[in-house]
Amino acid sequence: MSLMSALARMEAAAAGRARPRATVRHRHLAEHPLVLVPLTTAGEAGAPLGALAGTDRAAPELLVVPQPRDRDQRWAFLARLAGVLLPHLESALDDVEFEERKETDPETGKKVTVQAELCVDAPQLLVPNGPGVEFVRLLGRSMRFRRTAEDDPDAAYPAPPRVPLLGRWLTQYGERARVPGSCLLTSMTELLSRHWATGQSALEDQHLGALLAWIDPPEGLTGAEAALRAETGRDAGGQLLCPPAGPATDPAFDNKLLAPAVARFDAGVHGAEEEVRTLIESQLRPTWEAVWRGVDLLRGLPEGERVAERFKRDRWSYTGHRDRVRSGEPPQPRLDDAVTAAAKLAAREQAQARLEAQEALDDPLVMAERRLAGEAFEGEVVEVEMAWSEGKRPMPRPLVTLRTTDRPHLSEGGKVHRAMDEGARQSAEFVDGHGPGTLTLRLTNGMGRSKEPAPGTVPEKGDRLCWTLFEHSPRGGPGLPDVEDTPWTHGGPPSESPAAASVPAQTPGLPDPGGTVGSERPVEERTPAPLPLPDPVTSEDLL
């Protein structure tokens, strides 16, 4: 944890309520996000128990599975979930604008500029917490390989129509959520803890009720008191006053209330289904309200200047998925191939660097953290000396001396950057430090193309400037090989044959005490099939 975040937490602990970690909102927040609060059955791999979902705070849809082990009920649940979620996820497919982008012409192999469609908006999905994001991913994984009766008339247990499609969308959203700063799918705990420092640990911040208690404690309670109540307060019947934000339920709820009700439902007792519904809703409602309270709190912060630029990348991601679905591509494979994995990692590292830079540029409080860490500095210009580069066409290379109380980690020749008006940028290199508090930079660009710098591009004495040691717009790496050109070092091109998904094709491990990486992994994992088979369906499967 950075010293400044630590200090903010300590201020919060002393003050009894959360303190700001940001002065602007660093994440896109849709006008009408869809909030999804899911619950799952304890001990089962993603057997949903119920959910509240919708874009209307006053009228969520309640979905309940009275007997989670019953396949038909599960299908019914997923079909209804698709009925609620897909209209939202597909709501922005056809409202497009055109963007120029470079593409390789498949015939000539040359880069050409094309007008590409870009969806004007991308629907947002909000869940309460990190495990909620994981659960969306799990739901996506469990649905996208299912086959409907239309896909496969012989399927023993055909999935309802549109369920596999929902699986693909949730997979897309779940993968996108791994990209730093992305906002298609995000959790309220992540959003809130990005913007406020509580007087508790980051671990405890994962409890949505406790987190909100610190940010917005009820009248008469400190954050710590309200958080303790949210974490441990129970009623006379031993039930939590603030049920967990899911997807896991509280064991006391399962054992004392839910299990008997499910047993009555199984026994065919009249009204038992309604009883289960009421019970599940009692667990979901407080979290539903909590997520919307979080939305209100976040709306109180003005949006950061560069948030829209980042959200545009989410829109590209949304548009790309739309195009893949429309062109009839198969669902996303179970595992990434080597090239896809490397490309994703590179994209995420770039997104991380971009996010860190943009948050600092958008928010003086974030920049202060970078300044404290020696990664940026602010100072007043005390001297400007004109100078030019050597060579045939001398270019302006003025020397600018600043006075600063910051302590940047600079060494000779180190590059620094600053944002100028209208999105322009300027770079400089560190020339020298003249004793404490004074340093000289040589401007190296951003002054136009002539010998004389363009007006306003060279700072003047008395200007206050903020320079960063990090780049403002980190570049991406080079392209990776095409999947079919995967080199021998990485196993060669993935096999074309559809991998069997029914039996784990275990390759015998080598007689190797240390273990060779991957020697025990099923073959299918190395060679994801272009046309994946559905998951095996047995009479006892869980989802």
Partner 1 sequence: MSAPPRPAGTASASGPAAPSRYPSAEAASPAEAAAGATEAILHDALHSASRGVVVDSPPGAGKSTLVVRAARELAATGRPLIVIAQTNAQVDDLVGRLADADPELPVGRLHSSEPRPYDPALDEYAAVVTSAKIADLRELPVVVSTAAKWSWVKTETPWPHAIVDEAYQMRSDALLAVAGLFEKALFVGDPGQLDPFSQVGAEQWAGLTYDPSASAVTTLLSHNPGLPQHRLPVSWRLPSSAAPLVSAAFYPYTPFRSGTGPGDRSLTFGAPSDGTPVDRVVDEAAASGWGLLELPSRTTPRTDPEAVDAVAQVVRSLLTRRGATTDERSDASAPLTADRVAVGTAHRDQAAAVRAALAALAADEDTADAGLTAVAVDTANRLQGREFDVTVVLHPLSGRPDATAFHLETGRLCVLASRHRHACIVVCRAGVPELLDEHPSTEPVQLGVTVKFPDGWEANHAVLSHLAAHAVPWER
Partner 2 sequence: MTHTEGSTAALRRRLAELRGGPEVLPRPLDARALAALAANPGCRRRALLDGAGVDKAALAQALGAPAPFGQSQFAFARGNSFEAKVKADGGAELIRLLCASTGETPPEPGAVTVPDLSADGPAGRTARTRAALFPSAASQDPPAAPPVEGTDEGGTGGWSLLYHPMLALDVAGSTAYLEPDAIAVHPDGSWTVVEIKSFPILDGSADAAKVGAAARQAAVYALALEEAAPGGQAPVRERALLVCPRDFTNLPTAHGVDIRKQRATTRRQLARLTRLEEIAAEVPEGTVFDPSRPAGQLSSAVESVPAAYAPECLSSCELAFHCRERARAAGAVESLGRSIRGELGGFTTIGAVLEAAGLGPDSESGTRSDGPSQQSVDRAEDEDGERADPAGSALRRAARLRSEALGEAMC
* Residues 34-53 within binding reach of partner 2 (CB under 8 A): 41-46
**Interacting partner of 355 out of partner 2, partner 1, none (Cβ under 5 to 8 A depending on kind):** none
> What per-residue string of b and e applies to 426-456 under the rule 16 or more CB within 10 Å gives b?
bbbbbbeeeeeeebbbbbbebbeeeeebeee
Q: How far is CA 335 from CA 22, 319, 350, in A?
A: 37, 22, 22
Question: Scanning residues 357 to 376, which ones bind partner 1 (CB under 8 A)?
Answer: 374
Residues 6+ apart with CB under 8 A from 506: 520, 522
Separation between Cα atoms, residue 151 and residue 210, nearest integer Å: 46
- Taking CB under 8 A as the criterion, the residue among 405, 485, 536, 538 binding partner 1 is 485
- Taking CB under 8 A as the criterion, the residue among 335, 365, 384, 533 binding partner 1 is 335
Candidates 7-15, 109-117, 221-229, 476-484; binding stretch for partner 1 (CB under 8 A) = 476-484
Residue 282 binds to partner 2 (criterion: CB under 8 A): no
Check residue 429 and report its DSSP letter: E
Q: How far is the CB of 447 from partner 1 (least distance, A)?
A: 16
3-state secondary structure of 418: strand
Check residue 54 and report its DSSP letter: E
**Interacting partner of 423 out of partner 2, partner 1, none (Cβ under 5 to 8 A depending on kind):** none
Is-contact 442 428, C-beta < 8 A? yes
Is-contact 439 428, C-beta < 8 A? no
Residue 536 binds to partner 2 (criterion: CB under 8 A): yes
Separation between Cα atoms, residue 366 and residue 369, nearest integer Å: 5
What six digits make up the tokens of 496? 């074309």
Residue 112 binds to partner 1 (criterion: CB under 8 A): no
Site string for partner 2, 218-257 (x = CB under 8 A): ------x------xx----------------xxxx-xx--
Residue 14 binds to partner 2 (criterion: CB under 8 A): yes
List the Cα angle 120/125/127 in 5-degree steps.
160
- Taking CB under 8 A as the criterion, the residue among 259, 341, 345, 454 binding partner 2 is 259
Of the pair 155, 373, the CB lying nearest partner 1 is at: 373
Question: Scanning residues 402 to 441, which ones bind partner 1 (CB under 8 A)?
Answer: 409, 413
Selection from 73, 62, 69 nearest residue 38 by Cα: 62
Candidates 197-205, 350-358, 388-396, 488-496; binding stretch for partner 2 (CB under 8 A) = 197-205
Q: How far is the CB of 68 from partner 1 (least distance, A)?
A: 26
**Interacting partner of 540 out of partner 2, partner 1, none (Cβ under 5 to 8 A depending on kind):** partner 2
Question: Scanning residues 499 to 518, which ones bind partner 2 (CB under 8 A)?
Answer: 504, 506, 508-515
Site string for partner 2, 302-341 (x = CB under 8 A): --------------------------------xx------
Separation between Cα atoms, residue 428 and residue 29, nearest integer Å: 36
Question: Scanning residues 427 to 466, which ones bind partner 2 (CB under 8 A)?
Answer: 436
Check residue 256 and report its DSSP letter: I
- Helix pair 272-299, 259-266: axis angle to 10 deg: 140
Residues in contact with partner 2, counted by CB under 8 A, come to a total of 76
Residue bearing tokens 């979080």 = 294
Q: How far is the CB of 316 from partner 2 (least distance, A)?
A: 27
Q: How far is the CB of 331 from partner 1 (least distance, A)?
A: 17
Residue 391 binds to partner 1 (criterion: CB under 8 A): no
Selection from 455, 481, 218 nearest residue 340 by Cα: 481
